[in-house]
Amino acid sequence: MRWGVVTFPGSNDDHDALYAVDHVLGEEGVSLWHKDRDLKGVDCVILPGGFSYGDYLRCGAMARFSPVMESIIEFAHAGGLVWGVCNGFQVLCEAGLLPGALIRNRNLQFVCTTVRLRTEETDTPFTCRCTRGEVLTMPIKHGEGCYVADVVTLERLEQNHQIVLRYVDGSGRVTPEANPNGALNNIAGIVNEQRNVFGLMPHPEHATEKLLGGEDGLKLFQSVLATCTEGTHRRGTAVAPGH
Amino acid sequence: MPKKGVLDPQGKAIEHSLHALGFPEAHDVHLGKYVELSLDGVDAEQARQRTDEMCRKLLANGVIEDYHFELE
């Protein structure tokens, strides 16, 4: 399977994502430069963490207009798998590929810690190898991770089962204390309605080896791999929600 | 400016500081952005239209922010 990882000026988790794909997963990682329109035939695109274009104006606002994003928006509309981590999640929201926005953390501080995430949905290409309710442990490191959306959008996300991951406590409960940034409804990750675009603030690529503190993030990579290699996903025919 | 109803942690923090500094009358504090730019080769009507488009496309995020602009 071919994975594309985009490098914007200011991306800093692109090589971690490539490492996870190449060395841990054993698949082919392809670097995509922000000025390139060619997606080089990849099956899934990862928008990595970092500070694209210095995060000037708003996080992800400038990256959204880079040449590579035009191709990625087309790719996503055709059903291609697009996965945004941290800054990548912010870019996807700015690009309108995911609803809502990510604003400054509630306590105004940059948070760098380990969080627990409850898997709310497993009928997505990104979490099909997890079990429903499974609690995953991953790191976060961001200043603008507070997910917000208007009431109608939030309601629709809940109804359509688009909320994939929520911040929870050690017992798997959604509590205000377990919420590291003030995100509405403890939202850590969402998919679009077609379920082929996924954004999350935590870093699965930093949780792929025991040496790095845990392997829970690998399950998301394995989910995408299974989706692409077992033929459950075809471009233009995104997996339908199975509720 | 942040839309009404959108969480504004920066505005809240500023409001708390104003209260602590002896300005209890301050409320509904919101922090926004101010952008200044010059335009070449357009008349007033075009300037209005082009600036509005800039705001919609890039300068503001309509999901969380409202904008207004003035031409001089």
Residues of chain A positioned with their CB less than 8 A from the CB of B13? 108
Please indicate, yes or no, if residue A243 is contained in any of the structural domains.
no
Q: Is A148–B5 a contact, with Cβ atoms under 8 angstroms apart?
A: no
Q: Is residue A241 part of a domain?
A: no
A86 contact partners, CB below 8 Å, separation of at least 6: A13, A48, A49, A50, A140, A141, A142, A145, A200, A201, A202, A203
Ranges under pLDDT 50 in chain B: none
For B5, the closest chain A residue by CA position comes to A150
What is the number of helices (H) and of strands (E) in chain B?
A: 2, 0
Name residue A13's amino acid. Answer: D
Which residues in chain B have Cβ-Cβ distances shorter than 8 Å to A110?
A: none
**Nearest CB to A103 within list B7, B58, B59:** B7
Of A186, A126, A118, A128, nearest to A157 (Cα)?
A: A186
**Total length of chain A:** 243
- H helix or E strand, kind and range, residue A187: strand A187-191
Catalytic residue among A44, A59, A86, A146: A86
Nearest to A101 among B5, B33, B63 (CB): B63
What integer pLDDT is reported at residue A236 of this predicted model? 44
Choosing among A57, A92, A102, A142, which should be mutated to test the B contact, i.e. which has the most B CBs within 10 A? A57
d(CA A216, CA A159): 27
Range of the domain at A160: 2-229
* A148–B64 CB contact, under 8 Å: yes
Inter-chain touch B63–A93, beta carbons under 8 Å: yes
- Is residue A120 part of the annotated active site? The answer reads no
**Is B59 within 8 Å of A57 when comparing Cβ atoms?**
yes
A70 a catalytic residue: no
Quick check: A156 contacting B, CB < 8 Å?
Answer: no
pLDDT in tens, chain A (243 residues): 999 999 999 999 999 999 999 999 999 999 999 999 999 999 999 999 999 999 999 999 999 999 999 999 999 999 999 999 999 999 999 999 999 999 999 999 999 999 999 999 999 999 999 999 999 999 999 999 999 999 999 999 999 999 999 999 999 999 999 999 999 999 999 999 999 999 999 999 999 999 989 999 999 999 999 999 987 665 444 444 444
Residue B46, pLDDT score? 97
Q: Is A77 on the interface with B (CB under 8 A)?
A: no
pLDDT given for residue B16 in this prediction: 95
| A234 located within any domain | no
Strand partners, A45: A4, A82
Q: Residue B65 to residues A51, A111, A200, A208, A224: CA-CA distances in angstroms?
A: 21, 24, 22, 37, 34
Q: Choose among A61, A94, A182: nearest Cβ to B7.
A: A182
| Domain-located, residue A62 | yes
A38 in any annotated domain: yes
Domain of A187: which CATH number? 3.40.50.880
Strand-pairing partners, residue A147, are A102
Residue among A205, A206, A228, A233 flagged as catalytic? A205
> Count of residues for chain B?
72
Domain count, chain A: 1
Q: What pLDDT is stored for residue A204 in this prediction?
A: 98
Which pLDDT score is estimated for A233? 63
In a domain, A118, yes or no: yes
Beta pairing partners, A111: A142
Q: Do A148 and B7 touch (CB under 8 A)?
A: yes
ipTM of the complex: 0.85
